[in-house]
Amino acid sequence: MKKMDPAVISKNINRTIKTARLFDVFWERWIVHGLDRVDLEKARPHLHSLEEWQMTWAKFAKEKEYMARELEREHRYGEAEEAYRQTALYYNLNYWIDPMYSKKKISWYKKCLQFMNKADSLSDIPTTYKTLVLQDQSFCSGRIRIPENPAGVIIIVNPIDSSKEELYTYEMDFVQKGFITMSFDGPGQGETFLLNDVIGTRVRWESFIHHVIDFAKGTYPDLPVHLFGTSLAASWVLYGSSNKNVDKSVAISPAVELERMNMPGYFLSRIDCSCSLKSDEVPIPEFKEIEYAAPVFIFYGRKDGMIVNEEMYRLYETITSEKQMKEYEEEGHVCNFKLKEIRELTIEWFTGQQQLEGEYRQ
């Protein structure tokens, strides 16, 4: 595991918490992933330190757990499932806030796993768990949800500082429309990082993406395999579009080369805890080497402060397969408040209800 300076990490955590307390935009990601706005308004005034952050979100997690158990006793299993998933999300916040590997971070993550698995046990959609072995013998853990009579497989690639448990709303939308979902923690993420001791590098991510795609096609050879991801995960979706087993890909606000992005300083410091930032190892694809095969649908917010318009258009021009880009004038990075619509458009495109039409804007 990487050695980090605790003083640097402490400063990073404090800066992150201050950002969370002062700026509404910080919470967009968590709201669209299931955070209750009422809980956020109650919690936010108390977030002044790491200890207060963890105590606050643990308190709300226990409240969600109590609600879930009451709903379960009343046989309201669908509502109980959702409450357990929110419980897991709140523990995920405590796992996420401290980026450095530690026993305490592992403890918070195991609570997240516990309640996500509890929610899975109540769901009408079966969930299985799988570990893939990469070429360097690294272990990457994942979850697979399998509806009846599936129309295809959607591999959800998770953003670099996420875990597979965070994006459960994506899973729910896709499985309800008849798609198998596969969501694995890549190198430097969630279970793969904390429990399997695997940090993120470019080579490991290249191996990881191909392993998941080939596993999906090998397991479900008669079904189309699609990719879906946001931000840096979207960059790896573009990379994965070179794999012959991919039918279609959706990339939302794909990150570009590190030197071409307006990456927040605190974010880079966080990523340095679980990934290599050496120039030849940083886990961002070599875009110029991608040999595109699958059609690609890109979504982009024109108020993206991390990847400015010119950089997105430059990246778009390098895509040599069939492509289309839909832009949202008022959205920022990853188009947070259009994600529900984007997932609906994604399903229409994956099922052939919508065809590529070239570039257009909204």
Compute the distance between CA of residue 307 and CA of residue 303 in angstroms, rounded to an integer: 9
- What letter would DSSP give residue 253? S
**Alpha carbons 311 and 173: distance in angstroms, whole number:** 30
Residue with tokens 């990339």: 251
Q: Which pLDDT score, from 0 to 100, does residue 204 have? A: 96
Burial class from Cβ neighbours inside 10 Å (0-12, 13-18, 19+) for residue 81 reads buried
Based on C-alpha coordinates, what's the Rg of the chain? Answer: 19
Tell me: do 252 and 344 sit in the same domain: yes
Q: Look up the CATH number of the domain holding residue 183.
A: 3.40.50.1820
Closest CA to 37 of 4, 86, 94, 104: 86
Choose among 178, 183, 172, 195: nearest CA to 86: 172
Q: Which candidate, 242, 239, 277, places its Cα nearest to that of 255? A: 239
Do 28 and 131 belong together in one domain? Answer: no
How does strand 248-252 pair with strand 296-301?
parallel
At 360 the pLDDT is: 46
Whether residues 4 and 66 fall in one domain: yes
Give one DSSP letter per residue of 127-141, joined into a string: EEEEEEE-TTS-EEE
Residue 50 near residue 17, CB atoms below 8 Å: yes
Closest by CA to 328, choosing from 339, 314, 317, is 339
Q: Residue 125 to residues 1, 9, 175: CA-CA distances in angstroms? A: 36, 40, 8
Q: Please state at what angle helix 103-122 crosses helix 77-97, rounded to 10 degrees.
A: 170
Question: Which pLDDT tens digits describe the chain residue by residue (362 residues)?
Answer: 666 788 888 999 999 999 999 999 999 999 999 999 999 999 999 999 999 999 999 999 999 999 999 999 999 999 999 999 999 999 999 999 999 999 999 999 999 999 999 999 999 999 999 999 998 889 999 999 999 999 999 999 999 999 999 999 999 999 999 999 999 999 999 999 999 999 999 999 999 999 999 999 999 999 999 999 999 999 999 999 999 999 999 999 999 998 898 877 778 888 999 999 898 899 999 999 999 999 999 999 999 999 999 999 999 999 999 999 999 999 999 999 999 999 999 999 999 886 656 554 44
- Asked whether residue 135 falls in the same domain as residue 100, the answer is no
Q: Are 165 and 22 part of one and the same domain?
A: no
Give the domain-ending residue among 124, 147, 165: 124
* Burial (CB count <10 Å: 0-12, 13-18, 19+), residue 311: middle
Nearest to 289 by CA among 258, 311, 320: 320
Same domain, 203 and 80: no
pLDDT in the model for residue 325: 95
Residue 21's domain spans which residues? 1-124
Per-residue model confidence (pLDDT) at position 28: 94
The one-letter amino acid at 129: Y
Is residue 135 located within the same domain as residue 110?
Answer: no
The whole-number pLDDT of residue 315 equals: 96
- If asked whether residues 55 and 131 sit together in one domain, one would say no
CA distance 91 to 36: 14
Q: How far is the C-alpha of 184 from the C-alpha of 196, rounded, in Å?
A: 13
> Which domain-ending residue is among 93, 124, 155?
124
116 shares its domain with 147: no
Q: Which residues contact 128 (CB under 8 A, 6 or more apart)?
A: 143, 144, 146
Q: Where are the beta strands (DSSP E) in 216-329?
A: 225-230, 248-252, 296-301, 323-328
The tokens describing 28, both together, are: 């967009």
**CATH value at residue 50:** 1.20.1440
Q: Among 74, 90, 124, where does a domain finish? A: 124
Question: Are 24 and 114 in a shared domain?
Answer: yes
Query: Within the chain, what is the greatest distance between any pair of CA atoms?
Result: 56
| 47 and 190 together in one domain | no
In the chain, the number of structural domains is 2
For residues 166 and 107, membership in a common domain is answered with no
* Spatial contact of 234 and 207, defined as CB atoms under 8 Å apart: no
